[in-house]
């Protein structure tokens, strides 16, 4: 049999080993609990980065669409202005004949489409 001193020390060592094992388990559990919010924050940051990219693309697409619409409106207005100027230009054939100026969507009394001016220069074919 062991002396009483060794038995007491053996129980103390066993108790300390059990306590160390419990502390390690608690520490591992604590680290796992701490890690979950960090992982959630990483996922949230990645999601916000993706949203930022998507918003940037949407804004860029809307700007391009607005630019295209504005260019169309300017071209239409410029075309109408050229037509009106050509109608009152005294060097132009219509102004000499004193015919009233009409756009293509305006109809004559007989519901015929008016003759449109040809702005393209005539080219000789070789």
Give the DSSP letter string of 18-39: HHHHHHHHHHHHHHHHHHHHHH
- Amino acid 58: pLDDT: 94
- Residue 20 within a domain: yes
- Total domains in the chain come to 1
pTM score of the predicted model: 0.40
Q: What is the mean pLDDT of each run of 10 residues along the chain (126 residues)?
A: 72 90 87 80 86 90 95 92 79 60 64 63 64
- Residue 56 within a domain: yes
- Amino acid 74: pLDDT: 93
- Residue 107 within a domain: no
- Amino acid 62: pLDDT: 96
- Residue 37 within a domain: yes
- Residue 109 within a domain: no
Task: State the DSSP string of 24-82.
Answer: HHHHHHHHHHHHHHHHHHHHHHHHHHHHHHHHHHHHHHHHHHHHHHHHHHHHHHHHHHH
- Residue 45 within a domain: yes
- Residue 102 within a domain: no
Three-state DSSP class for residue 1 = coil
- Amino acid 39: pLDDT: 84
- Amino acid 101: pLDDT: 62
- Amino acid 109: pLDDT: 66
Query: Can you give the residue range of the structural domain that contains 48?
Result: 4-97
- Residue 29 within a domain: yes
- Amino acid 87: pLDDT: 74
- Amino acid 113: pLDDT: 62
Per-residue CA distances from 45 to 33, 41, 51, 74 (Å)? 19, 6, 10, 43
SS3 content of the chain, % helix, strand, coil (to 5): 70, 0, 30
Structure-block tokens of residue 4: 């009483």
Instruction: Report whether 87 contacts 95 (CB < 8 A).
Output: yes
């Amino acid at each position: 049999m062991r002396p009483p001193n060794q038995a007491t020390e053996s129980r103390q060592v066993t108790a300390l080993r059990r306590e160390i094992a419990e502390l390690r388990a608690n520490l591992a559990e604590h680290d796992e609990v701490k890690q979950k919010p960090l992982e959630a924050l990483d996922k949230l940051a990645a999601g916000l980065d993706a949203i930022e990219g998507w918003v940037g693309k949407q804004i860029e697409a809307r700007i391009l669409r607005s630019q295209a619409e504005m260019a169309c409106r300017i071209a239409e207005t410029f075309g109408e202005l050229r037509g009106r100027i050509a109608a009152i230009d005294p060097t132009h054939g219509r102004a000499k004949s004193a015919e009233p100026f009409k756009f293509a969507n305006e109809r004559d009394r007989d519901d015929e489409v008016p003759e449109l001016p040809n702005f393209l220069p005539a080219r000789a074919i070789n």
